Structure 1
Amino acid sequence: MATAAAITSVQRLPLQHCSSFLHGIALPSSSSTLYPPSRYYIQSTKRFFVFSKRISGLEEAIRIRRERELSKISIGSTRRLPLKRGKVSPRLPVPGHIQKPPYTSSTLVPEIASEYQIHDAEGLSKMRAACKLAAQVLDYAGTLVKPSVTTNEIDEAVHQMIIEAGAYPSPLGYGGFPKSVCTSVNECMCHGIPDSRKLKDGDIINIDVTVYLNGYHGDTSKTFLCGNVDDATKKLVKVTEECLHIGISVCKDGAPFRNIGNSISEHAEKFGYGVVDRFVGHGVGTVFHSEPLIFHERNKKPGTMVEGMTFTIEPILTLGSIECIAWADNWTTLTDDGSPAAQFEHSILITKSGAEILTQA
C-alpha cells in the first residue's frame, strides 16, 4: 500500500477531489492537499495569481506519444465503460488469537513514521517470513482473476488464506479501510475497495496484498490481465513491471533515493507513459508506512539508502493523464480521463551491493 506525496511550499486550490492517501498512507496533517503539479495557485490578500509551468519539448513529445497509445485502444462495442461502484459487503472478522497492528483500534489514518526501518537478524527473519506469505497470497489471488469473478470474492479468498496462516490482513481497518485487500480495476490507480462488481473480459486489475505476521508487514502488488486484454493495455502492464525492476536495479547501500524515480521515468518516457506522482513507496517493517518515501517520477529529493533498510517500490503508470479523481469513499482513486493505469510493487532489503526482493514469489 502506497502513500501520497504533496508540495507544501504553496497553497493549491482544488481542481478535482483527489485522494490524500497513497496505498493507504496519509501525509502528516500539516501537508497540503494534492493537486495537479503543472499549475500552482498562490493566494494573496486580494486575488489569486495563476502560474502555468512551461511545457518542455520532452513533455510535449511524451504527451503526443500518450495520445497515440490511447488511439490504439479498441473503440465502439468493445470500449470499456467507466468503472462504477458495486455493493460493498461488511468487513470480515479476524480470530481473536491473531496479532493485530495497533492502528486497528482507530479509524484515523496513522502518521507516517519518521524513522527508517533497519532490522537485526531476528527482525529480518520475521520480515522475510511476512514478505514470503504476502507473495504466496498474491500469487493465489492472481489465479482467481477471470471474467465473472467479483472483487469481493477475491477479497474473501485473500482474507481466508491470510488468517489461516496466522496473519492479519494489513489493509483491514487501516484508516477505516473496510476490506482485506485493495483491488484496482482498469482506470483505478490504487486503493480500490472490493465490491460486487464482476470482472469483465478485457479488464486489468491490480491486487495489493499486505500481511502482518509476527509483528512485521510484508507488502506487494501486481497487475493481472483478465481474459482478452487489448494490446495497448497489455504493453502498459508489461512496461510497468519493467519499471519496477529497473527501479530496484539501481538500489544499494549509499545510492541516492532519487535514482529510483529517475530510472523509472526514463524507461516509462520511452513509451510515452505517465508516471503518477501522487503516490509513493515507503518504508515497511514493524510499521506499515514510514520514511523513506520513494518517489517514482523524476526528482531531486535528498537522502541515501542504508544497508539493512526495507522499503517498497511501487510505480503506477498510465496510458493517458496522471491526474486523479477520488470517489466519495476517500480511497478509490482513478485517472481523471478514464485511461488505464497499472501498478507493480515489491518490498526490498538494501544490501551492500544491491537489493534483495523480499516479496519475490
Structure 2
Amino acid sequence: MKIYLVGGAVRDELLGLPAKEKDWVVVGSTPDEMKTKGFKQVGKDFPVFIHPKTGEEYALARTERKSGHGYTGFEFDTNPNVTLEEDLARRDLTINAIAQGEDGVLIDPFDGQEDIKNKCLRHVSDAFSEDPLRVLRVARFETNLKLFTVHEDTMEIVQEIVESGELEYLTPERIWLEFYKSNHIYRFCKFLDKINILDKLLPGCVPFSQFEPDEFNDGSKLKNISYFMHENVGDMDIFCENLKVPNEYRDLAVMLNNCKEEYILFNPSNTDACDKLQSLIKKLDIRKEDRLKEFLEICNSFENNHLNYFLGDLIKEIRSYKLKKEDQIKSDNEIQKIVENDYKVLIQSYLNNYLKKSN
C-alpha cells in the first residue's frame, strides 16, 4: 500500500499558489484494508475514503471505461493491481497528472512539469474526449491560470466533444459549479464563445459581442457573479432556470437591475429628490439586510455617488422607526399614510442636512 498526493495540490505548489485542498491516491489497497485503518468510506461510484484525523479524501487508484453518456457514464476498476501511472493516465490535463510520493519525489509520466514551465494546457490521452465536463474544466483552467494557453491538439478534441453533442448531458449543477469556480467570468465566457457553446451552456446571456468586459471583483463570489448577471444576462429567468442559480445570486442580480442606475444617478438637488429616494428605499426592501449590504457595497464602489454618504444612516433610522401608540389602533390605510408621511419627513431631513454640508 502506497499513498501519493495528486492533482491540484501538486500543480498549485509547482505554480507557487496556495493549495485549496489536498487529494490523495492509494495504490495497492482495498476497501476492507482502508476501513481497518480507520478510514470512512464515502462515494457511490467508486471508493473514496475520509482520513480519520485530517478529513482529507483518499481514493483508491482506478481506471475508467466509458459506458454511457455524459460525465457520469463510466465504469471503474479499483482492484489493488491498478498502478499509479494507470490512475494518472485517466486524468484530464498533464498539469493535473503529477503525483508526489511520501518522500517528496515527484512522479510525472506525462511531462506535466514541462507543460507548467511552458504554460501549456495539454490533454493526457485520447480518453480526454470521453468526458464532456473536461471542456468546461479547460475553460476554467485557461481562465484562472493567467498566460496559459490550450495546446492545439487539445483544442481539436475540445471541438470534437462540442460537435458530438455530449455537452447536452451535463447537469445544470455541474455547469454552474465550473462557472462558479472561474475567477474571471468574462474570460471564461470568451472561451465558451470561441468554441460556439456559450448560448447553449449559458442561455439567457446577451450575445458575447455585447458583453461588458469590466467586472466587479472584490473577492466575493456572490457580488462578482451577481454583477456579471446584471450586466450580461438578458433573460434572467432562462439563465437561472438552466443553471439552477441559487436564489441569493438571482435576487441580488435582480435588485441591481431594478435599482442600481437609480441609486447611482440619484441627485439630491432635484426638486423631486425626496419622492425619488422614498420610492428607491421601498424597492430596495431594506428588511433583507444581507442583500442590501451586498447591493450597497457594489454601488458604493462607483464614483460621484451621493447616497454613499448618508443612506446607511438613514436606513438605520427607518429600521428603528416605531409607530406612535395612539396611531397603532387606526385602520391599515391610515397607518400606511402615517408611516409614509413620517418616512418622508425623515428623508427630507437627511437630504437637507446633506445639502447643507455639501454647500
TM-score, normalising length: structure 1: 0.22
Structure with bigger helix share is 2
TM-score, normalising length: structure 2: 0.22
Q: Which has the larger radius of gyration?
A: 2
Relative contact order higher in (CA < 8 Å, ≥ 6 apart): 1
Structure with bigger strand share is 1
